[in-house]
Structure 1
């Protein structure tokens, strides 16, 4: 689940975005990577999920 969210954000970062949206995406990506690192060091059956919706820019 965390890895799926990380991959989705990476896909979004490959698309055009404005500076504010880019900062939000990068902050969320960094947060997910930290959670994954912690989970890999101390695996748990159900890792904590932090739900922070990523806002997509209106085109």
Structure 2
């Protein structure tokens, strides 16, 4: 079984959500991850080491 790069998966999910919504904050991203069943129910931006602008910057540079 190949190793799974969680940062790649997370970035893909960020891009997917942002593509659907246009833009997103770190808090909204966490809520969306939880809603889709991709994260545990108490996920916070701190758990992902994301600040509110980091998601948008990551998406722009992806």
TM-score band, normalised by shorter chain: 0.3 to 0.5
TM-score by length of 2: 0.33
Q: Which has the higher contact order (CA 8 A, sep 6+)?
A: 1
- Structure showing greater radius of gyration is 1
TM-score by length of 1: 0.34
